[in-house]
Structure 1
């Protein structure tokens, strides 16, 4: 029943998608709750997680900022109102780095790549990235590296199109879906922290020579490495020790498929460009040796769970927010 709400459009037509103006929006509440989870886990891991104090401090500041920017505190006409729509993008990356730091501390730096490698071999009988190697070509590599690096652009392009088209209700649902989906994928890092085939099945330092592009690939690859905490010019050993354990499931694949879904669900004008670029991105996760195929399959399965459970969770947050915003009104009426 819950999943059907997305398919028949009733959820957006029933008028319950607009968050109460005097309190947080559903996406804001989800941000606050996940920040609390990250801060609490960091506190538990304090002794073996040096950055714990900074994670907790950042989350406290974030929660304070979200509450300060709530709709009831900052009018829509205010110049600061635009921060309410934009802040989720950098917060997603903040949560990503925090979740990866926790994954490293939770398992003392150990990785679970052997499980993922064996899963791929059990399904396909080969290592997919090694099997693909003879079919690589600099042009293909260049196109797919561009697609992979466009990940956040894809996410933001749909958000921008919804806002520009005046689809505020759809934008609210989309923002909630992004926070929820990313949070679920980050929890996977804690379960099976892994670093991927570019380290385990291939020589990381030889990636530029084994899988060359045309012009932009080395720079885009370096940018991705930087985002994953790999210093420029790092040796194989140093890169493996420092890189984020962010392989399972593939957040890139999961959230790209989610953006494609929502772009068609909301009839976005950018849906076909998003679908084409997104499809290339999903392929690139394995071709470029960032992920095992099992990571992508797990991402698809987790996305299915996300879409099925999201309507009920969204409605639950709405009820909580509505109840919270109605308390002051009832108190005023009772005193009168």
Structure 2
């Protein structure tokens, strides 16, 4: 088993144990049944992979091998998506005390008020809302595109390291959601500040973010921030030009988590800690496996 497989297994045992102790086994079963979209997507995606393997690799045996290999490589992403969907449905039913009062208090002690409102009053505008909303939604695309780039360019060791770092920071954050749940300022006190810069043209995107978030207890730490920090770190070490291109978007993602009132400022700090833990674990794993941690030649890094 790979390290990320072990992490997923430990987290699954924790979810099951907590559900049993909280007498929420029916909710756990409902959340598992809610994973049917993942199964449908994976099944649909395996068809073109199988067809490509058969057509370009010499028949059905190669097609089946290619499907198995692809499934092996995308398994960490499946783990992360599956646990996110499970916890999205399960954590509200566990009815554990919310951490929001403490997180909100920390924000106010730093900024003299809510961090999101503080930021909006200084840089808030319709254009800022549009740009930061786009940055926030980009996290659904950029990490997958970057890891696919590494894989397609045959940087398999670096691909494995990045995947392990991202998976570690995400699964460890999910574990925190179980023991220290928080809904975020947009649910805990309502979207007070975002009304200062509201515009009907941005309403669909903002509503989509609100629907995706729902009332799930997934604010602390910020996985958006954690994943962005990990991706920026490895882009800097592998494709320097790509790093400078994505850096403004990455900064936008971090700002958006607070500006759109999805997270408290302290959630971003905790996300940075989760990212550091993921990078450290992946670096240690790389050295144990006997290959140099992600770093390309200087001339390649500049591309």
Alpha-carbon distance, 1:287 to partner: 0.7
Confirm or deny that 1:131 pairs with 2:118.
yes
1:156-175 alignment, distance < 5 Å: 156-175=144-163
Moved more, 112-121 or 304-313: 304-313
Confirm or deny that 1:111 pairs with 2:98.
yes
Q: TM-score, normalised by structure 1?
A: 0.68
Query: What is the aligned partner in structure 2 of residue 220 from structure 1?
Result: 205
Q: Deviations over 1:93-114 (max 9, x none)?
A: 21113234443344x1542211
Alpha-carbon distance change, 56 to 220 in structure 1, aligned in 2, over 3 angstroms: closer
Query: What is the aligned partner in structure 2 of residue 68 from structure 1?
Result: none
Gaps in structure 1 of 5+ consecutive residues: 1-23, 66-73, 231-242, 320-336
Give SS of 1:270's match.
helix
Q: Deviations over 1:265-304 (max 9, x none)?
A: 2336632232221111001111111111111112222322
In the alignment, is the contact (CA less than 8 A) between 1:162 and 1:268 conserved in 2? no
In the alignment, is the contact (CA less than 8 A) between 1:253 and 1:299 conserved in 2? yes
CA distance in 2 between partners of 1:77 and 1:83 (Å): 11
Query: What is the aligned partner in structure 2 of residue 323 from structure 1?
Result: none
Name which of 172, 186, 195 aligns with 1:184: 172
Query: What is the aligned partner in structure 1 of residue 87 from structure 2?
Result: 99
Name which of 4, 10, 15 aligns with 1:38: 15
Alpha-carbon distance, 1:25 to partner: 3.8
Gaps in structure 2 of 5+ consecutive residues: 43-60, 291-303
Alpha-carbon distance, 1:251 to partner: 1.0
Alpha-carbon distance, 1:29 to partner: 4.0
Aligned length: 266
Confirm or deny that 1:27 pairs with 2:13.
no
CA distance in 1 between partners of 2:82 and 2:63 (Å): 26
Query: What is the aligned partner in structure 1 of residue 74 from structure 2?
Result: 86
Query: What is the aligned partner in structure 1 of residue 26 from structure 2?
Result: 50
Alpha-carbon distance, 1:187 to partner: 1.9
Alpha-carbon distance change, 98 to 313 in structure 1, aligned in 2, over 3 angstroms: farther
Bigger RCO (CA 8 Å, 6+ sep)? 1
Query: What is the aligned partner in structure 1 of residue 257 from structure 2?
Result: 285
CA distance in 1 between partners of 2:33 and 2:209 (Å): 26
In the alignment, is the contact (CA less than 8 A) between 1:110 and 1:193 conserved in 2? yes
CA distance in 1 between partners of 2:208 and 2:79 (Å): 19
Query: What is the aligned partner in structure 2 of residue 211 from structure 1?
Result: 197
In the alignment, is the contact (CA less than 8 A) between 1:112 and 1:193 conserved in 2? yes
When you count helix as a share of all residues, which structure comes out higher?
Answer: 2
Alpha-carbon distance change, 90 to 198 in structure 1, aligned in 2, over 3 angstroms: same
Cα RMSD after superposing both structures: 3.2
Alpha-carbon distance change, 49 to 271 in structure 1, aligned in 2, over 3 angstroms: same
CA distance in 2 between partners of 1:280 and 1:169 (Å): 29
Alpha-carbon distance, 1:41 to partner: 3.2
Q: Deviations over 1:90-147 (max 9, x none)?
A: 43121113234443344x1542211011111222333222223333100000000000
1:293-304 alignment, distance < 5 Å: 293-304=265-276
In the alignment, is the contact (CA less than 8 A) between 1:139 and 1:214 conserved in 2? no
